[in-house]
Amino acid sequence: MTAKEVCVIGVPIDYGADRRGVDMGPSAIRYAGLHEILRQAGHKVYDWGNLPVPVPESRTPQNPRLKYMDEIVKVNRVLARTVEKISRDGQYPVVLGGDHSIAMGTIAGLLRVRPRLGVIWFDAHGDFNTEETSPSGNIHGMPVAVAVGRSQTPLALPFKGQFLDEAKIVYVGVRTLDPAEAAALRQSQATVFSMHEVDRYGMREVMARAIDIVTQDTDGVHLSFDIDALDPLYAPGSGTPYSGGLTDREAHLALELLAEADVLTSLEMVEVNPILDEHNRTGELAANLIASALGHRII
């Protein structure tokens, strides 16, 4: 992999989820030695610090169908501008969450520079709900639906009318979907490699297919990685644990294959919850997965 100028941005937000704690995710990943691992892999690392995010205790959710929507939109607008600047300057954004609602800001900013963006989305969930289909009103379950233009709410404002092509998004590791969300995904142009496909074909084949899809007629590839893609046996620090997920080696192999292909132009790691973790195991795993995606090798 070619050396990058990596710009790390923390987004300590947990408005999008029911459980507190993911706002401490950026600190946990940094504490695990992210910067040093990336430097060992040959990259220059610049830390842009954390975006300012008021704590939920200082705010009141106004709409039960879209909890903390106004606050999430404000943060994502700032994040979109930040990611746009980094990407436009030829640097490599690494965004640390925080809950997965931040993907709206990350992708919105990237699309301003790379309008034909491809996205690989590692997640136990589809994040394809809208305000009409979400059973919880938690916005961290909606970012993909917003990013492809399926929501007409203010959540779409950071995109400025420029949305992600559904055909250029590939899911890996999905294993739990809400019924209406599953129906919408089946009717969409997105590609979904659930755990069934991972088990059936193996991670090498899944990633070969995924890379082929996201690199056809695109001008960049973004990796959005929710730590709950892994089985909670390996990543206990997740607010949405669901058994039957990826092993740590499957996840590392997937990201090593992405690094070998040298196609990624940005990435984000989200939903690490130190409150639920065991001695920062999940924070360390997240840091090492980012390093794998950026070419770190044992030898």
Residue type, position 213, single letter: I
Catalytic residue positions, numbered: 100, 123, 125, 127, 140, 226, 228, 271
Question: CA 294 to CA 267: how far, in whole Å?
Answer: 9
Question: d(Cα 32, Cα 98) in Å, to the nearest integer?
Answer: 16
Angle between helices 281-293 and 248-261 (to 10 degrees): 20
Could you give the strand order of the β-sheet that contains 191-194, starting from the edge strand earlier in sequence? 44-50, 5-11, 92-97, 264-270, 221-226, 118-122, 169-174, 191-194
Closest CA to 191 of 168, 212, 165: 168
Task: Count how many Cα atoms sit within 13 Å of the Cα of residue 104 in the half-sphere of its side chain.
Answer: 35
- Tell me if 236 sits within 8 A of 274, measured CB to CB: no
Sign of CA dihedral 32, 37, 38, 43: positive
CA triple 240-125-279, angle to 5 deg: 35
Closest residue by Cα to residue 83 from 60, 61, 51: 51
Helices 248-261 and 203-214, packing angle to 10 deg: 40
